[in-house]
Amino acid sequence: MSDLRVHNFTISLDGFATGEGQAADAPFGHAGERLHEWMFATRFWHEMGGRRAGTTGADNAFAAMHGAGIGAEIMGAGKFGPPGWQDDPDYTGAWGSNPPFHTPVFVLTHRPRPSVEMEGGTTFHFLDASPAEALKTAREAAGGQDVRLGGGPSVVRDFLAERLVDHMHVVQIPILLGRGVRLWDGLEALDEAYDIEAVSTPSGVTHLTFTAKRE
Amino acid sequence: MSDLRVHNFTISLDGFATGEGQAADAPFGHAGERLHEWMFATRFWHEMGGRRAGTTGADNAFAAMHGAGIGAEIMGAGKFGPPGWQDDPDYTGAWGSNPPFHTPVFVLTHRPRPSVEMEGGTTFHFLDASPAEALKTAREAAGGQDVRLGGGPSVVRDFLAERLVDHMHVVQIPILLGRGVRLWDGLEALDEAYDIEAVSTPSGVTHLTFTAKRE
């Protein structure tokens, strides 16, 4: 069975994965780009833009796990586009004409629409489904490879609550956002289902990895 | 001017410094002793009990900062005793006849009572005061040494909100409590006032230190 994996999922010290006030020009609300500056500094990030630059230390090693062995992604409606995108039948996502996924992507929404094929191998499919159902569909599309759970926080939380996530990489950065959407709400005793490691790096972030305990 | 310092203040991954259901036999509620197992393993902790045992690594180095140069402590009513202690005029705290403070301790309560002198140099004083007023009183009692802010979470939060804390050591452990009292609520942009370091140790905990930026 292929794994369901979360990568590069970044939260503030007070646990917010996105700020308040999400909009087309502010996908993370008042957090701005601060949550992901650690990643923008890495070679992983620069190489996605075709540049041979960026750090090659521990942050980069974690970041680069993002794509390897992934055959499909599941994302929430809030990652696909800003609030209200469902009202525009021609909207094709916040990710440009060549989105950085290059696999089938299953967008969870209560208002599904026909699939959209983009450049570079990404096809967006729209599902109104439970976490378990969505995972089953994404696994079939992944052709034996793993499925990435792309966020946002409420989607990750829903899949964690049902213990569907096999591997999770959370990056905690030393800022306090004060408001937004928390990752950890309602996940009491989640630690009992995972082996958890913490590694702080010189850039000031802490990488937390969760590996599901097998029977 | 002497510093106000927080030490060994431990939170779960989801930010709770104490669980739900605090009582005389459960000072941290449903969290039990899990929040402080990292500290119970250290030489610092064993030596307080007169035993030459325990780890001497990074966790111990941080833990041992607790007492050095401290001339007084400020604590909240919830650290002094379980809910309802104010109704017992003879109550002298949850810390035994020889409390581990060995300095004046200022207990914040809306129902002050006469001071109580304990064995070993600890005297409990009871204050109904604002954070700034309490700090002024504790500084005078500290005789030029630093003041420790002992918790709990709502007290630390109140002093942080007024930027009265000079040094703070927070220990984050990889458990999810799900409920209780959070440290970080309402502290947006706190990071702008501090230099923050993060260090994960082999025991699985992450030490976060906050050093106030000077003008």
B:146-175 residues touching chain A, CB 8 A cutoff: 172, 174-175
Q: Pick from A63, A132, A140: which is nearest to A104 by CA?
A: A140
Which tens digit of pLDDT belongs to each residue from A77-103? Answer: 999 999 999 999 999 999 999 999 999
Q: What distance in Å separates the CA atoms of residue B134 and residue B144, rounded to the nearest whole number?
A: 16
List b or e across A173-195, with b for residues whose CB sees 16 or more CB atoms inside 10 angstroms: bbbbbbbbbbbbeebbebbeebe
Query: Which among A178, A189, A191 has CB closest to B186?
Result: A178
CA A84 distance to own-chain centroid? 20
Which tens digit of pLDDT belongs to each residue from A47-77? Answer: 988 999 999 999 999 999 999 999 999 999 9
Contact A184 B15 (CB under 8 A): yes
In this prediction, residue A214 carries a pLDDT of: 85
* From the candidate CATH numbers 3.30.70.980, 3.40.50.620, 3.40.430.10, 2.40.30.10, the one assigned to the domain spanning A4-86+97-212: 3.40.430.10
Spell out the residues 6+ positions from residue A117 whose beta carbon is closer than 8 angstroms to its own: A123
Contact B206 A204 (CB under 8 A): no
Q: Is B190 part of the contact surface with chain A (CB cutoff 8 Å)? A: yes
In this prediction, residue B205 carries a pLDDT of: 98
Q: What distance in Å separates the CA atoms of residue A61 and residue B132, rounded to the nearest whole number?
A: 46
> CA-nearest residue of chain A to B19?
A188
Q: Is B133 part of the contact surface with chain A (CB cutoff 8 Å)? A: no
Q: Pick from A27, A70, A62: which is nearest to A42 by CA?
A: A62
Positive/negative CA dihedral, B136, B141, B144, B145: negative
> ipTM value of the model?
0.92
Q: Which residues of A touch B9 (CB under 8 A)?
A: none
From first to last of its 215 residues, chain B has per-residue pLDDT tens of 799 999 999 999 999 999 999 999 999 999 999 999 999 999 999 998 899 999 999 999 999 999 999 999 999 999 999 999 999 999 999 999 999 999 999 999 999 999 999 999 999 999 999 999 999 999 999 999 999 999 999 999 999 999 999 999 999 999 999 999 999 999 999 999 999 999 999 999 999 999 999 86
Contact B178 A198 (CB under 8 A): no
For domain B4-83+100-212, the CATH class is alpha beta
> CA-nearest residue of chain A to B186?
A178
Q: What distance in Å separates the CA atoms of residue B198 and residue B189, rounded to the nearest whole number?
A: 17
Q: Where are the domains of chain B?
A: 4-83+100-212
Q: Pick from A155, A159, A163: which is nearest to A110 by CA?
A: A155
